[in-house]
Amino acid sequence: MPVVWSDRHRLHEPGGEVWVGVRMPAAEVPARADAIRAVLVADGAQLVEAEAHPDERLLAVHDAALLDYLSHAWEEWEAAGLPEDPGQDRVVPYVFAHPELTATPAVPAAVWARPGYFAYDTMTLVGPGTWEAARAAADTALTAAELVLGGAPAAYACCRPPGHHVTRRAYGGSCYLNNAAVAAARLREELGRVAVLDVDAHHGNGTQAIFWEDLDVLTASVHVDPGAGWFPHFLGFAGETGGGMAEGANLNLPLAPGAGDAEWTAAVAELAAWARAGGARAAVVALGVDAAAGDPESPLAVTADGFRAAGRTLGALGLPTVLVQEGGYDLETIGSLVRETLAGVEEGQAGA
């Protein structure tokens, strides 16, 4: 299947992540996408350059205020002199717009207070190239969506930074723009009901929130149980099933830490069956491969065979399918895990 790519992902160097107040090396690094690309190219993949798309496509899922903030966050941080005094070379929050701290929410006057109006964690740093790279990632997902709308059975967006933790107005979890949501909104425009099937090891809280009351974008996620202590901690529980008219249009399948191929592939099959029963006309797969055994960011234990089997199940839906890269942090295996998944999707679609 076509692999959509942009070199501009390398402009985002997170420069670390602040966890429990300590700045440590980032997991979400440029080498991730380069490693995936190397494996897919060696396997004979056809690379397609991401094309620029209008802001209107982002505004289908994000508030203008978030886009305006992210596109200027680094410039204003630098202009305020914060890299010199106190010596912080990335945009990072120190205070948060907790609901009980805000009466009439508004972007605060102080440059150093602004990140906490939009960010919900301290791990998602903004540097000089973050906006351009995040924009390129969304364009990569949109280009994959256009390929599928043009008749490709499936297309893969090899993008970073990832996106599934971003809501309409709040970013976090190493994500800045919700690439999968942007692609889903575009497919929905043309094809009707779409399902976003999120197999990243972490709950796709941003995508769930964006489409919470939307009956035409079904959202489903298999992930390590937040109730067992895992990010995003506050969301991803089985009782979250959609809001308002869209009650029943969200499905969460939390798994216990340590779950392996049997539990995980059964859960992916349940996501697929649920999307089919819900009348989806197209699928967006939020393809994190951090559920892999050995991934440093999750306690799930899925093997390469598990990813291939999951790919087959997703392909057997027989729907136009856009796969969007999310997490996956083991540089030694990330490329082959993606290759196995994509091969599985092609096998499933051929047999569907």
What is the distance between the alpha carbons of residues 14 and 128, in angstroms, rounded to a whole number?
A: 9
* Contacting residues for 127 by C-beta, under 8 A, at least 6 apart: 12, 13, 14, 15, 74, 89, 90, 91
Beta strands in the chain (DSSP E): 3-5, 17-19, 22-24, 47-49, 154-157, 194-198, 217-224, 250-255, 282-287, 321-325
* 3-state secondary structure at position 35: helix
Kindly determine how many residues on this chain lie close enough to bind ligand SP5 according to the rule CB under 6 A. 15
What is the distance between the alpha carbons of residues 80 and 112, in angstroms, rounded to a whole number?
A: 9
Per-position x/- string for 70-99, each x denoting binding to ligand SP5 as judged by CB under 6 A, each - no binding: ------------------------------
In DSSP terms, which residues pair with 24 in a beta bridge?
17
Query: Considering CB distances under 5 to 8 angstroms, the limit depending on partner class, which of ligand SP5, Zn ion, none binds residue 221?
Result: none
CB of 110 to ligand SP5, least distance (A): 27
Token digits for 347?
Answer: 């096998």
Q: Which is nearer to ligand SP5, 225 or 326 (CB)?
A: 326
CB of 90 to Zn ion, least distance (A): 21
Coarse DSSP helix, strand, coil percentages of the chain, rounded to the nearest 5 percent: 40, 15, 45
**62, 164, 165, 223: the active-site residue:** 165
Stretch that binds ligand SP5, among 96-104, 171-179, 314-322, 342-350 (CB under 6 A): 171-179
Token digits for 19?
Answer: 């966890």
CB of 329 to Zn ion, least distance (A): 8
Per-position x/- string for 146-185, each x denoting binding to Zn ion as judged by CB under 5 A, each - no binding: ----------------------------------------
Q: Which is nearer to ligand SP5, 214 or 295 (CB)?
A: 295
| 30 binds ligand SP5, rule: CB under 6 A | no
What is the distance between the alpha carbons of residues 108 and 114, in angstroms, rounded to a whole number?
A: 6
Residues 262-301, interacting with Zn ion (CB under 5 A): 288, 290
Query: Considering CB distances under 5 to 8 angstroms, the limit depending on partner class, which of ligand SP5, Zn ion, none binds residue 125?
Result: none
165 in catalytic set: yes
* Contacting residues for 98 by C-beta, under 8 A, at least 6 apart: none
Whether 337 contacts 288, CB under 8 Å: no
Q: Which is nearer to Zn ion, 223 or 312 (CB)?
A: 223
Q: Which is nearer to Zn ion, 140 or 349 (CB)?
A: 140
Residues that bind ligand SP5 (CB under 6 A): 19, 123, 162, 165, 173-175, 200, 202, 231, 288, 290, 297, 326-327
Residues that bind Zn ion (CB under 5 A): 200-202, 288, 290, 327
Q: Which residues participate in catalysis according to the annotation? A: 165
